[in-house]
Amino acid sequence: MDKLLQAMRAVAEPTRLRILNLVAHSELTVSDLVGLLSQSQPRLSRHLKLLVEGGVLERHQEGSWARYRLSGSTGLSDENIAADFASAVLDLLPHDDTVLARDLERLDRLRQKRDAEAAAYFKRNAAQWNQIRAMHVDEDDLLGSLRTVTAGWHLGRYIDIGTGTGKLLEFFGPQTDRAVGIDLSPDMLRVARATVEREGLSHCQVRQGNMYELPCADGEFDTASFHMVLHYADDPTLALSEASRALAPGGRILIVDFAAHNLAELRAQYAHRWPGFTDEQMESWLASAGFADVVVDRLEGGPLTVCIWSARKAVIEKEAVA
């Protein structure tokens, strides 16, 4: 009862209802909201604080920025009743309200700006990416293989580690219950966030973090992926162990990376730390991280062979107590 009352008090103010409506459509910073609502930062910070305390919004730190989104909801219980209440309030907001409509028009322009920034980042890096892509199988062939490998999987709660531009979030997102992309690079997060919003994947989000210290609880996810990430890692074994921690028992891991190769220029020009991986290497590391039933699929085409390693986190059976 107390949590419900706190949530009701949190949204019972015109500006906070406008914030709720905007954040329901897009993850936003205080700076974003200052531009959208034409109100001062201290005033909006106070409103956001009350909405977070009321349990209707979540706050996530990303470098020097704090980002806000709607709290998650899985049904009426003491822990998420505020999120369900916020969802009910959003359903009651009048679609023909002129103030709310203008807010969303301004949000649309902000999204267009984000798309333009993402396109500019692609343009600046296109030559490098295209040079590497020319060395291996076509992206559509890779995605087709990923679809085959994961056929029959229940992706459930999905984490894409080193999400980059959010390609796998875009690909797997529609099949997930909830998805989070993790990356250290603010530029990459900007592109991935634009991708998620453009595709309307409201249950997907991106977060700043590194592969060795994932911002999540033990066993929070059902599926994890590394897409062209581990060849940049100083310590792939630590990254795989951290992914194992994030997965529930029986959870699945998917690793897309290069087979072992002799292309020294990838290390010299593109900061690759590993010249691909052998199956024996990957199987040993996965076993050490608590994974079993390793399967490898190989996609040849060009100087580089792409491998898809998949495995399941082992379920440790408890001994019967006499």
Across the chain, which has 322 residues, the per-10-residue mean pLDDT values are 85 93 90 93 93 91 82 54 88 91 92 76 60 71 94 96 92 96 88 89 91 94 95 91 97 95 77 88 96 94 89 73 44
Whose structure tokens read 């107590």? 321
The answer on 271 and 212 residing in a single domain is yes
pLDDT for residue 76: 38
The answer on 155 and 238 residing in a single domain is yes
Cα separation of 50 and 43, whole Å?
Answer: 11
55: domain CATH number is: 1.10.10.10
Q: At residue 17, what is the residue type?
A: L
- Cβ neighbours, 10 Å, residue 34: 15
Helix (H) or strand (E) holding 148: helix 139-149
Residue 127, domain member (yes or no): no
Residue 26, domain member (yes or no): yes
pTM of the model: 0.75
The answer on 175 and 95 residing in a single domain is no
The answer on 90 and 158 residing in a single domain is no
The answer on 297 and 152 residing in a single domain is yes
Instruction: Report the DSSP pairing between strands 28-29 and 65-70.
Output: antiparallel
pLDDT for residue 83: 85
Cβ neighbours of residue 303 under 8 Å, at least 6 residues apart?
135, 136, 261, 263
The answer on 69 and 144 residing in a single domain is no
pLDDT for residue 43: 93
Residue 275, domain member (yes or no): yes
Cβ neighbours of residue 138 under 8 Å, at least 6 residues apart?
301
Domain count, the chain: 2
Cα separation of 270 and 161, whole Å?
Answer: 20
The answer on 219 and 302 residing in a single domain is yes
Displacement of CA 199 from its chain's centroid (Å): 14
Alpha-carbon distances of 141 from 224, 255, 258, rounded to whole Å: 21, 16, 15
Nearest to 100 by CA among 33, 42, 19: 19
143: domain CATH number is: 3.40.50.150
Range of the domain at 31: 2-105
Alpha-carbon distances of 186 from 5, 131, 200, 295, rounded to whole Å: 37, 23, 21, 33
